[in-house]
Every structure is written in C-alpha cells, then in structure tokens.
Structure 1
Amino acid sequence: MRKLICVAALLIASAGLAHADAVADRQALMKGIGKSVGVIAPMIKGEKPFDAAAASGALTKLNEFAQKIDVDALFPEGSDTGETTASPKIWEDMPGFKAKADKFEADAAAAAAADPKDLDSLRAQFKTVAANCSGCHQDFRVKKN
C-alpha cells in the first residue's frame, strides 16, 4: 500500500511539472516571437531605418518560432494556472485557438518567404502577421495589470 501511495504521489508531482514545463516553454517561445517583432516594429514605425537584412533575419526567426507552436504540447489541460497570462478561453474554445495558431504559422511562413526588400513590402507582410498576434492576444490572453 505504501508503494502504491508513493507511485501515485510521483505521478501527480510529475504531471504538475509537465504543466510547469509547458508554461515555461510557451513563455520562452512568445519571448522569442516578441524579440523578432522588436526588430521589425521600429522600422515599421519609422523609429529606425529600414534594414533588409535585419528585417529578413527577424522574419525568418519569427517563422521558426511560429512553426514551433504545438498547441497540444504547449497548452495541455491544466496548464492555465500559475505564472501565466493564458486565458481560460483557450481551453473553452480549443478549436478556435488552434485555428488562430495555424493562421499565424501560415502567415509567418508567407512573410518569411516574401523576403521584403523595401519598407512598403515589409509593412504589407508584417501587417498580416501582427494582426494575428493582436487578435490572439485579444481573444486568448489575460491582460497584465
């Protein structure tokens, strides 16, 4: 009986760690996406001059991060607690959330493949990608205070 209780306790503890790892993994992924956006956004806003190599590199990295979004692995049931801004709406509307993630992946791939050579083409490509980000954050993220 004692062994059974120990095994059950270990399973429960490891399930909690798995959820903690999913939260940390998705936060790291989102920080990477944010870093790429941080290279592009100042160019779009006119705060920095357009740099084709930097824009292309940032779009490539953004796409790499986007392709790593595995909703099932990063947002398992029960990973909506703790240090996370993931909204409970994710788990209430998982098909809708997955659809937004799929669209983001496709649009990030298209933006990277377009390899913008001037500010206008960067704006056009990035506008679509950024709309995905803000739409998903609006619908599926708890706002920080």
Structure 2
Amino acid sequence: MRKLVCVAALFLASGGLAHADVVADRQAIMKGIGQSVRTIAPMVKGEKPFEAGAASDALSKLNEYAQKIDVEALFPKGSDTGDTTASPRIWEDMPGFKAKTDKFKADVAAAVAANPHDLDALKTQFQAISSNCSGCHQDFRIKKN
C-alpha cells in the first residue's frame, strides 16, 4: 500500500511539474514578445526615432516568439493554476483562443514579410499586431492588480 501511495504521489507531482513547465514556457514566450514590442512601440508613438534595422530585428524576433505559440502544447487542460494570468476562458473557448493566436501569428509573419522601411509602413504593420495583443489580453488574460 505504501508503494502505491508513493507511486501515486510521484505521478501527481510529475503532472504538476509538467504544467509548471508549460506555464513557464508560455510566460517566456510572452516576455520575449513583450520585449520586441517595447522596441517597436516607442518608434510608432514618436518617443524614439525610427530605426529601420532595429524595427526589422524586433519584428523578426517577435515573429520567432509568435511562431513558438503552440496552443495545444502550451495550454493543456489543468495548466490554468499556479503563477499564471491565463484566463479560464482559454479552456472554455479553445477554438476562439486558437483563432486569435493564429491571426496574431499570421499578422506578425506578414509584418516581417512586408519589411517596413519607413515609419508609416511600420505603424500600419504594428497596428495590426498590437490589436491582436490587446484583443487577446482582454478576452483571455486575467488582469493583474
């Protein structure tokens, strides 16, 4: 009986660790996305001068992170607990969440392909990207206090 309890405890602990890993993985991706956005947003807002190379690099990095978002792998059932701001709505409306994620990935890839060489072009591309971010955060993220 004691062995059974130990095996069950290890099984449950490994499942909890697996979910902790996906939470950490998706948080790392979101932090990378945020870092790229923090490079581009000040240019778009006129707070920093436009630099085509920096914008292109940030868009490329943003695309690398965006393409790593695998909804099935990063948001398995049960990974909505612990240190996460993922809303339960993700699991209640997984098709809607996946659609928003797919649109974000496509818009970021399109921005990279457009390779904006001036501020106006960057603003157009970034507007599409940032509307995805805010829409998804509004619908599928718990607001921090």
TM-score per shorter chain, which class?
over 0.9
Match of 2:114 in 1: 114
Match of 2:64 in 1: 64
| Structure 2 CA distance for aligned equivalents of residues 135 and 126 of structure 1 | 14
Match of 1:83 in 2: 83
Matched position secondary structure for 2:50 = coil
TM-superposition CA deviations, 1:30-84 (whole Å, max 9, x none) = 0000000000000000000000000000000000000000111111111111111
> Please, what is the CA RMSD of the aligned residues?
0.8
| Structure 2 CA distance for aligned equivalents of residues 144 and 59 of structure 1 | 27
| Structure 2 CA distance for aligned equivalents of residues 112 and 68 of structure 1 | 15
Cα offset, 1:9, TM superposition: 1.2
| Structure 2 CA distance for aligned equivalents of residues 47 and 56 of structure 1 | 18
Match of 1:123 in 2: 123
Identity of aligned residues (%): 77
| Structure 2 CA distance for aligned equivalents of residues 51 and 83 of structure 1 | 36
Cα offset, 1:5, TM superposition: 2.2
Cα offset, 1:3, TM superposition: 2.5
1:26 counterpart letter in structure 2: R
Match of 1:22 in 2: 22
Gaps of 5+ in 2: none
TM-score, normalization by structure 2? 0.97
Matched position secondary structure for 1:9 = helix
Match of 1:132 in 2: 132
Q: Does 1:31 align with 2:31?
A: yes
TM-score, normalization by structure 1? 0.97
Matched position secondary structure for 1:80 = coil
1:21 counterpart letter in structure 2: D
Give the paired residue count. Answer: 145
- Greater displacement, 2-11 / 24-33: 2-11
Gaps of 5+ in 1: none
